[in-house]
Amino acid sequence: MKAGLSTDHSERLERALLSLDGLSVGDAFGQMMSTCARSARSVVQRGGLSSGPWWHTDDTQMAMAIVEELAAHGAIATDSLAKRFAERFQADPGRGYGKGVRMQLEEISRGADWRQTSAAAFSGRGSKGNGSAMRAAPLGAWFADDLTKVTSQSTQSSIVTHMHHEGIAGSVAISLAAAAAWRSRSSALDEARNAIWDAVLSSNTPPGETLDGIRKAKLVPPSMEPENAARFLGSGFLVTAPDTVPFAIWCAIRHLDNYHEALLSTLEGDGDCDTNCAIVGGIVALRVGREGIPTEWLKSRERLDLQPHLQ
């Protein structure tokens, strides 16, 4: 083991790869069903799913960069992570990157410093898009044994592209949800649900619209139809963290023990389908394990081009 890496490095990596499987299957499934989100359930019920490969999008590309960064350094080194994001983008740009991130990664590829590109995004406000939340679950999985690091490391991961405090809040909240899902995986369902709400509503999630939205989400009864919950909370049509993260957390908690149902319910909220499903999948997988992800779905997702030693 390299100097500086934690003694439980391999366990952290295993958890992050589990979350990445949940995230990438969710991303690919959500993307494939995005044009018929509200009828996804009937497509699945009549056996109408394509046999694959199901192509993943930018959510998975960026999450893979994070897992590779953590596997290499045991922590997020921002310069190195920016380079990994840019290299993945350059190698495979047609993965549905949002315009703001695409512009940043193009500049970084030409030698710009991420500190400048991230700060300059959206006329100098920084991005509050959902793009750092969409990739955050594996990071929460990695640091699930050290919650003090979840917030600081998720912040480091976010600021490379999403420096606005709402972008950071989205990333932190999703990492905390993933960490809590892993930590409470052996607890009774209600106890685990409460543990996740407590984690994301703790003082670790920066205050603002995203946190306010998560507070609202906790008040939405699980009996509400996802379509109605999405109308109330937003489901990513605006592709911002406040418009995406509260609904995604509500969906993950609502179906914490059932990956298949979690994704179908998430799609009933429509919106940013690949990202919503990536977030939900990355969290729920940590509770249900790899065996909880439908085998056919895992097989249908295209093979992940992780570095060979991580495959």
Residues in the chain: 311
Q: How far is the CB of 253 from Mg ion (least distance, A)?
A: 22
Question: CB neighbours of 280 closer than 8 A, spacing ≥ 6?
Answer: 26, 248, 251, 252, 255, 262, 263, 266
Q: Is 7 annotated as a binding residue?
A: no
Question: CB neighbours of 45 closer than 8 A, spacing ≥ 6?
Answer: none
Binding mask 38-77 for Mg ion (x = CB under 5 A): -------------------xxx------------------
Backbone phi, then psi, for 160, in 5-degree steps? -60, -35
Binding mask 171-210 for Mg ion (x = CB under 5 A): ----------------------------------------
Nearer to Mg ion, 151 or 275 (CB): 275
Residue 176 and residue 214 in contact, taking contact as beta carbons nearer than 8 Å: no
Nearer to Mg ion, 61 or 205 (CB): 61
> Which neighbouring-strand residues pair with 301?
54
Q: What is the C-alpha separation between 63 and 242, in angstroms, rounded?
A: 20
Q: Does 96 bind Mg ion (CB under 5 A)?
A: yes
Q: Does 274 bind Mg ion (CB under 5 A)?
A: yes
Q: Is 59 annotated as a binding residue?
A: yes
Question: Mind giving me the DSSP string for 3-39?
Answer: TT--TTHHHHHHHHHHHHHHHHHHHHHHHHTGGGGGG
Q: Is 266 annotated as a binding residue?
A: no
Q: Does 93 bind Mg ion (CB under 5 A)?
A: no
Nearer to Mg ion, 57 or 266 (CB): 57
Q: How far is the CB of 273 from Mg ion (least distance, A)?
A: 9
Q: Is 295 annotated as a binding residue?
A: no
Annotated binding site for Mg(2+): 57-59, 272, 274-275
Chain contacts with Mg ion (rule: CB under 5 A):
57-59, 96, 274
